[in-house]
Amino acid sequence: MEPLKEPEEVPENEGEYIEMSNHLKKIYDQVDLKNQRLTLDKMELQKILMSAYGMSRVIDNLASNIMDIPADLVMLIEHMRSFLSDELDTHVFNIKDLTFD
């Protein structure tokens, strides 16, 4: 986005005002389009994060029901689920801190 500059001279007629307003509308439309794209991208990333968390829960539940899985693997699965849960709270549910002091 280009920075707004102070006008070098004051417009003297209606045509110059119209030209300035059209220019500002063009800048506004560009910013608005970028914001819409960012919103859609954020929603898509949130869906991906929720799906990853759901899959980690399924894997964690399956691993807890299967015998003879190495403890290191179980620990990694639990760590992944915990990490994704924290990220889901932060980036989807906007929960920054769950400490109640």
Structure confidence by residue, pLDDT tens digits, 26-74: 999 999 999 999 999 999 999 999 999 999 999 999 999 999 999 999 9
Q: Which residue has the higher pLDDT, 43 or 13?
A: 43
Tell whether pTM > 0.75.
Answer: no
- What's the average model confidence in pLDDT over 91-96? 88
The C-alpha atoms of residue 10 and residue 7 are separated, in whole angstroms, by 7
CB 17 within 8 A of CB 11: yes
- Band of pLDDT at residue 98, cut at 50, 70 and 90: low
Phi-psi region of 94 (alpha: psi -120 to 50; beta: other; left: phi over 0): left
SS3 breakdown of the chain: % helix, strand, coil, rounded to 5? 70, 0, 30
